[in-house]
Amino acid sequence: MEPVVEVENLNLIIEGRHILKNVSFQVNKGEIFTILGGSGSGKTTITKCIVGLFKPTSGTIKVFGKDLTQINPLELNGLRKEIGYVFQGASLFDSLKVWENVVFYYLEHSRMKEKELKEIALTYLKMVGLGEHTLEL
């Protein structure tokens, strides 16, 4: 099988506290993989390491064959565009309006005009039973 994520002997120490200790696993292409554990067990921290939000104290993390501990910030940003993940308590940006949350990716990665973005947002909102009145909330 072809691995898309390889985590080997991952350790993370923050403010003298050993958060992750020798975590190792592999996720193969086409495989559905879930990280389970109790509150505070490190699930979110592992995920943040995999997407490069935390740099491990030691160990390696390879995503699509690229070692996250060895690539530059520009390469990391490109790699992040290929990764999708959902945290257990998915939430909205409370500083943004509903329509901005719905089209957040486009706000960050396109030059589309606000009117066009609101139309896209409304299309998606209607798909889940919400109407135009929710755009500006």
CATH of 3-80, one of 3.40.50.300, 3.40.710.10, 3.40.47.40, 3.20.20.370: 3.40.50.300
Q: Is 0.85 surpassed by the pTM of this model?
A: no
Residue 5: the pLDDT is 95
- How would residue 68 be classed by pLDDT, with cut points 50, 70 and 90? very high
d(C-alpha 137, C-alpha 131), whole Å: 11
- How would residue 18 be classed by pLDDT, with cut points 50, 70 and 90? very high
d(C-alpha 5, C-alpha 46), whole Å: 12
Domain with CATH 3.40.50.300 in the chain: 3-80
Name the token pair of 90. 């998915």
Name the token pair of 63. 């995503």
